[in-house]
Amino acid sequence: MPHDIAWQHDAAARVAATALGPCAEHRGRVEETGDGVAMISGLRNARLDELLRFDSGAVGFAQVLEPDQIGCVLLDEAAGLQAGDAVRGTGDVVRVPVGAGLLGRIVDPLGRPLDGKGPVQGASLSPIERKAPGIIERDLVTDPVQTGVLVVDTLFALGRGQRELIIGDPATGKTTLAIDTIIAQRHSDMVCIYVAVGQKTSAVRRAVDALQTHAAFDRCIVVVAGSATPPGLQWIAPFAGMTMAEHVRDAGGHALIVIDDLSRHAATHREIALLTRQSPGREAYPGDVFYVHARLLERAAKLSAANGGGSLTALPIAQTEAGNLAAYIPTNLISITDGQIVLDAALFQQGQKPAVNVGVSVSRVGGKTQALALRNAAKSLRLDYAQFLEMEVFTRFGGVIEPRVQAKLTRGTRLRAVLRQDQHAPLRLIDEVALVLAVQNGVLDALTVKAVDAFRDGLAGALDAQLADLLVRVEATGILTNDDHAALLELLQKRAAPDG
Ligand SMILES: Nc1ncnc2c1ncn2[C@@H]1O[C@H](COP(=O)(O)OP(=O)(O)O)[C@@H](O)[C@H]1O
Ligand SMILES: [Mg+2]
């Protein structure tokens, strides 16, 4: 059974195979070819993932090993490849460039330039499949990733080394949320890698434009395998991006990888599996699709001090149909990651953007990393919001509303307004703390929802102008002292006052 082999063949064995180095050259013959794969006979000693070279110049890698045939996934268009062509095993695996030369570049999954700026400079090569760090090499996730998105940082905080799934229907703001998180790193030490798998050219263009305009693009790497590229290139893209990110992590640095998206990747995996005649399982995916994604995301980690203390945070994206989180690929990915941010089409249509469904989203490790100032301010936010949403549904049926309930509704409506945020406009920690304090202390209760928008829009400028020292202190320590708390609240109340 081909995928029994795949199942048993864990990442460790893959790396070990690399270490063996080249073996005696062996040759085979193309039996059949089409749609980005080739079936090959004769290469008896080929190993899983081995790089195969065709006499026509094309390359591919062994994805399926059967007793009499190999399923090879092509890494190029491979026009002109036909039955009878000769093929050689190389004894090597697929490798991609890593290193500083990639920063600020847009490349394909093999590191070939797509930005017309010439070859990637001074990069070394590293295999796309690498062993994930073991438990001993890891450390607990303790440092925050400031996403600059209020609803995420307050309710579903992320930590460095965490894997958080962004999931939702088409056009609910998944890509935007991930891109905005990268944009928010423009003043941090993170290297950000955006991997586009199977996306339309227009969508990739929009994402890259946003990064080039708003992010620190010289600390970003963009890996593109669009929907029109051969399935083999799409298949390796997330693995290639991971290898590039690991290079940063292993040097003691901090990397953030966005994989947009793993639903497309799963579809590509299924397509390849069907073409190489692996037996289909649930929803026609081959049985090893869970293992493929688990192996990939396991490589995100926070390393222990003894291993350099670097981190690799992963934000994989998945797409749902009609909000169905119980489909095969979504449930797989939800169980592999440390939480999920669920985007909701109905909220998006109502104009509540980012359209985070607060009831079903969760972050399992990041909460502990939240800056103290924000954690204290946002302590009861989630419960308050949940209660408000529930009350809102009940009061919709009409009837007399008690003053206590009315007060909660007023507060909740202001909170919802504050959680709305434009794209590409990341907030600083201090902006977030100030907004949450304003809501929770009732400063915004007397304002109309429209006035809340104006209040929010002018807030950063007011903080800069009037509380410059406090701002620096809070950004540096993450702590709001009692005096600072009082000063901040005073400024907020003044701004919300009718003549403020
Ligand atoms: N917070 C936001 N504010 C305003 N527009 C947004 C916001 N988030 C997303 N959008 C817009 O919604 C559209 C769909 O977003 P996109 O991120 O491409 O969705 P998806 O990746 O889920 O398909 C885009 O035009 C995007 O600009
Ligand atoms: Mg998208």
Helix 289-297 × helix 262-275 angle, to 10°: 140
Tell whether 307 and 431 lie within a shared domain: no
Active site includes 270?
A: no
Residue 163 amino acid letter: R
Q: Three-class SS of residue 99? A: coil
Last residue of a domain, one of 339, 369, 399: 369
Name the residue at shortest CA distance from atom 6 of ligand 1.
423
| Ligand 2 geometric centre to CA of 214 (Å) | 18
Tell whether 35 and 181 lie within a shared domain: no
Tell whether 105 and 225 lie within a shared domain: yes
CATH number at residue 17: 2.40.30.20
Tell whether 190 and 225 lie within a shared domain: yes
Evaluate whether 117 touches 105 at the Cβ level (below 8 Å).
yes
pLDDT in tens, 312-342: 999 999 999 999 999 999 999 999 999 999 9
> Could you give the CA distance from residue 265 to residue 408 in angstroms, rounded to a whole number?
44
Tell whether 315 and 411 lie within a shared domain: no
Could you tell me the residue range of the domain that residue 431 belongs to?
375-496
Q: Among 332, 318, 13, which Cα is nearest to 177's?
A: 318
Tell whether 215 and 353 lie within a shared domain: yes
Tell whether 339 and 463 lie within a shared domain: no
Residue 221 amino acid letter: I
Name the residue at shortest CA distance from atom 8 of ligand 1.
173
CATH number at residue 459: 1.20.150.20
Whether residue 351 has its Cβ less than 6 Å from ligand 1: no
Q: Three-class SS of residue 453? A: helix
Whether residue 199 has its Cβ less than 6 Å from ligand 1: no
> Could you give the CA distance from residue 361 to residue 180 in angstroms, rounded to a whole number?
18
User: Residue 215: its pLDDT value, please?
Assistant: 93
Pairing of strands 254-260, 311-319: parallel
Q: Look at 14 and 396; give whichever has higher pLDDT.
A: 396
Tell whether 328 and 473 lie within a shared domain: no
> Could you give the CA distance from residue 124 to residue 101 in angstroms, rounded to a whole number?
9
Tell whether 328 and 418 lie within a shared domain: no
Last residue of a domain, one of 92, 113, 134: 92
Cα within 13 Å of Cα(229), Cβ side: 25
Q: Among 67, 93, 91, 61, which Cα is nearest to 5's?
A: 67
pLDDT in tens, 370-427: 999 999 999 999 999 999 999 998 887 777 788 888 999 999 999 999 999 999 999 9
User: Residue 396: its pLDDT value, please?
Assistant: 79
Residue 80 amino acid letter: G
Tell whether 380 and 346 lie within a shared domain: no
Mean per-residue pLDDT for 465-476? 93
Whether residue 407 has its Cβ less than 6 Å from ligand 1: no
Tell whether 178 and 280 lie within a shared domain: yes
Tokens at residue 6, please?
């795949």
Number of structural domains (the chain) is 3
Tell whether 176 and 193 lie within a shared domain: yes
